[in-house]
Amino acid sequence: MTDEIERFTVGHDREMDLYLAPYDVLGSMAHITMLQSIGLLTKDELDILLAELKQIYATAVSGEFKIEDGVEDVHSQVELMLTRRLGDVGKKIHSGRSRNDQVLVDLKLYTRDQLHQIVQLTDVLFRHLIAKSDECKDILMPGYTHLQVAMPSSFGLWFGAYAESLADDMQYLLAAWRITNRNPLGSAAGYGSSFPLNRQMTTDLLGFDSMDYNVVYAQMGRGKVERNVAFAMATVAGTLAKLAFDACMFNSQNFAFVRLPDNCTTGSSIMPHKKNPDVFELTRAKCNKIQALPQTVMMIMNNLPSGYFRDLQIIKEVFLPAFDELKDCLRMAAYIIEKMKVNEHILDNHIYDNMFSVEEVNRLAASGMPFRDAYKKVGLDIEAGRFTPDRNIHHTHEGSIGNLCNDRIVELMEKTLSEFNFSRVDNAIQTLRQ
């Protein structure tokens, strides 16, 4: 039964810790640099420890790092490797910290790095959507309400709408970044340390904006950070899922508004005419799964009091792999949008004639007829088969077919992107590694 209990309590933690290995090493490098500054390590000890940790870091980045059988976690594995190679000096690196604040800093460094990648990929998709919006700004398509043909829209509006949605989503990613980019190291098991730690030093070395100041709150942040980051990821995923749904529908023969890249569709085993939008269908499913992530994290951590509990280990299993799924979806969406072909002749089909009815009502109202009378007249003309659409439409207000405001949407995105200050983090990590 002992083996069963160990299997139950360890679960998938060692697998999950492989995600954290490079970040655990970086955290240790910053920590021991601080320990030397307060006299708990000599300069010679620091130098040999840093040299060895850089080798372990290279192993972790290359994917060759392993957690051996019988070793509980990544933290123990790194310390074991140092002790084997350097003897007793390897045992000194844990002074002034606990595995609690060690895993906290690992998770924050990992999450910060993943958010950086998601921001970059979101921006790539945003740029493709803006480019496609500009390219197709004069190509009309039907707009829908209740899945009924409603009013004239355009591919410029359709692509641009998703671009602006991502610009708003970037605000959530920025908020998640700011909450993540605070240093918990030095909070130890949640109640600080009697060593005279220099927490500002590790904050600066790791490129954090600030620290989680209160040591109890630093531990309370476990789960809270993951939940808030998951909300930001879910927001991006919601935009992607809706885009994927639209594209799948518009790709069907009944609509034939767009054509997806051939290599992103698959055929049927018995129907040679079919091209199924599998990539976007899987994108939709994966993104819907990601939208459930905040609730999953919340239900694991929501009823826990302050302090550390083993329950929090389970969050890793749902949280860490989610980044790769979202990044894959962003890459796929960017590729498809760039290669997507639009139908320039949708409105040749007369089933869309009536969507110009509002244009006629507005023309009559602008010429002096009361709006309700104009509405009634056009409705009666449609019923009697007398309505002839005027396809020359002139929308000029901000955000309309004739005035997409894509330049302003780009400004919104660029303003948000400028607030991440990735270069400060990159420079700090590069300096630490050197």
The answer to whether residue 100 scores a pLDDT higher than 80 is yes
pLDDT of 11 reads 78
Higher pLDDT, 268 or 312: 312
Taking the domain 2-94, which CATH number applies?
1.10.275.10
Distance of CA 321 to the CA centre of its chain: 12
Q: What is the DSSP letter of 403?
A: B
CATH 1.10.275.10 domain span(s) along the chain: 2-94
Over residues 337-379, the pLDDT tens digits come to 999 999 999 999 999 999 999 999 999 999 999 999 999 999 9
CA-only gyration radius of the chain, Å: 28
| Start-to-end Cα distance in the chain | 47
**Residue range(s) in the chain whose domain bears CATH number 1.20.200.10:** 99-140+153-345+411-433
Q: Cα separation of 145 and 404, whole Å?
A: 20
Q: Which two tokens stand for residue 182?
A: 């605070």
pLDDT interval class at 287 (50, 70, 90) = very high
| Six-digit token string for 324 | 């790769």
Instruction: State the pLDDT at residue 395.
Output: 92
- HSE toward the beta carbon, residue 35, CA cutoff 13 A: 25
Name the fold adopted by 99-140+153-345+411-433.
Fumarase C; Chain A, domain 2 (1.20.200)
Task: Please give the sequence-ordered ranges of beta strands (E in DSSP) within 214-349, or none if there are none.
Answer: 258-259, 341-342
Predicted confidence (pLDDT) per residue in 61-86, tens digit: 999 999 998 888 999 999 999 999 99
Mind spelling out the 3-state secondary structure of 84-102?
HHHHHHHHHHHCCCCHHHH
Cβ atoms of 68 and 11 closer than 8 Å? no
Query: What pLDDT score was predicted for residue 7?
Result: 79
CA dihedral 221, 224, 230, 231 (to 10 degrees): -130
Residue 1 — pLDDT band, cuts 50, 70, 90?
A: confident
What's the pTM value of the predicted model, to 2 decimals? 0.95
State percent of the chain over pLDDT 90: 89
Q: What tokens does 408 get?
A: 């302003």
Positive or negative: CA dihedral 161, 244, 175, 327:
negative
State pLDDT tens for residues 370-427: 999 999 999 999 999 999 999 988 899 999 999 999 999 999 999 999 999 899 999 9
| Of residues 119, 136, 161, the one with CA closest to residue 340 | 136
pLDDT at 231 over 90: yes
> CA separation (Å) from 294 to 168, 286, 290, 434?
19, 14, 8, 37
The whole-chain average pLDDT of the chain stands at: 95
On whether the CB atoms of residues 314 and 300 are closer than 8 A, the answer is yes
Helix (H) or strand (E) run with residue 153 in it: strand 148-154
The sign of the torsion formed by the CA atoms of 292, 72, 98, 108 equals negative
Q: How many helices (H) and strands (E) does the chain have?
A: 15, 6
The yes-or-no verdict on residue 6 having pLDDT over 80 is no
Q: Which amino acid, 41?
A: L
User: How does pLDDT run across 315-329, given as a tens digit for each residue?
Assistant: 999 999 999 999 999
What tokens appear for 137 in the block?
A: 């700004």
Q: How far apart are CA 26 and CA 57, in angstroms?
A: 8
pLDDT by residue (tens digit) across 232-279? 999 999 999 999 999 999 999 999 999 999 999 888 788 888 889 999
Site of tokens 């749902």 = 318
